[in-house]
Structure 1
Amino acid sequence: MITVCLHGAESTGKSVLAARLGLPWVPEYGRTYCEERGTDLTMADLLAIAEGQADENRKAMAAAPPVLLFDTDQLMTAAWAAMLFCEVPDVLMGYPKADHYLLFSPDVPWRDDGTRFFGTDEARARFAALAEEMLVRAGVRFTRIGGTWEEREAQVRAAIAGLIGGGSV
């Protein structure tokens, strides 16, 4: 089984593409958490989100599909912690890592969906930089994804095809 995590700032197409690819995927637990509890987050909320995502990821991994997409993981929660509270608890960096990460650039229009925070160009750039910093800190492999919505989808499909040794996704 190969695990691939979609990573990056808000409103960059991660969830839309995860749903569109036709592969097994684990939705973003933090979105559900915020829809149910609101977006006035504390560090305790971020830690609960991280654990909830870990539980969902573990459940999906038990089925052992050939390829499993994570809409997010704890490295993205670490970026949220850095963005919101200027600190990253060690526990967030200690969770298991995906086999490969796809880092989405904030080069498409931001859309407010009621759970998003960082819509200005400056905030998006800072959040994107923190997201990349977490990947670098963790020492994981990643591929950059950017461009139009169509280009993003083609890049994601090509990256996953490369990871599984060819074929089409």
Structure 2
Amino acid sequence: MTRTICLHGPESTGKSTLAPRLARHLSGAVVDEYGRTFAEAHGVDFTMADLVTIAQTHDRLTRAMNGIDLLILDTDPLMTAVWADMLFGYRDPWFDAWTGTADLYLLFDIDLPWIEDGTRMFGSVAERQRFFDLSRAELERRGVRWALVRGEGEERFASALAAIEAAGLV
């Protein structure tokens, strides 16, 4: 059975940087963030239909890797649901019906500086805090197992590894 660890949280918190490093360290595979791929191809003027497409595609990519022992997910549909909340104040019913949650969610703190990269939107302190609060609330609402990841550089990597080990997933 595939063990899944999802990196969850606001933009510019190190998820995409840490995902491949965790996968290498734990001899797993990565499912890259499809939202970034979509944004780079189509721009960031998202519609709700775009967000559903992003979530469904990410879910399909994850399911296609079924059978691999350990998957590191660089976000999943729960994070895309939070994006819908941030952008529109509501979400498509598809998000709440989705049931493919990970074995562990690592919630990335907003303790790193925000870096503009052309696809990011919520850089103010207030926006980042709201994004973080909604991200945490989604995990709590769903009742999934999660842990907070903090720190810079090696400390952040160690925080993620400690959470994975504490969850018994390695």
TM-score, normalization by structure 1 = 0.92
- C-alpha contact (below 8 Å) 1:53/1:73 kept by paired residues: yes
Percent identity over paired residues: 47
1:69-108 aligned within 5 A: 69-95=72-98, 96-108=100-112
Q: Secondary structure at the match of 1:25?
A: strand
Q: For residues 120 and 139 of structure 1, do their structure 2 counterparts lie closer, same or farther at Cα, with a shift above 3 Å needed?
A: same
CA drift at 1:149: 2.4
Q: Does the residue aligned with 1:40 lie in a helix, a strand or coil?
A: coil
- Structure 2 unaligned blocks of 5 or more: none
Compute the TM-score of the two structures, normalised by the length of structure 2.
Answer: 0.92
Counterparts in 2 of 1:165 and 1:7: CA distance versus 1, 3 Å: closer
Alignment partner for residue 155 of structure 1, among 152, 159, 165? 159
1:36 aligned residue: 41
- Contact kept in structure 2, 1:74 and 1:93, CA below 8 Å: no
When the two chains are superposed, the root-mean-square deviation of aligned CA atoms in Å is 1.3
State the alpha-carbon separation in 1 of the partners of residues 141 and 106 from structure 2: 15
Secondary structure in structure 1 of the residue aligned to 2:64: helix
Cα distance in structure 2, aligned partners of 1:28 and 1:161: 23
Of stretches 89-98 and 77-86 in structure 1, the one that deviates more from structure 2 is: 89-98
Residue 136 of structure 1: which of 133, 140, 159 is its match?
Answer: 140
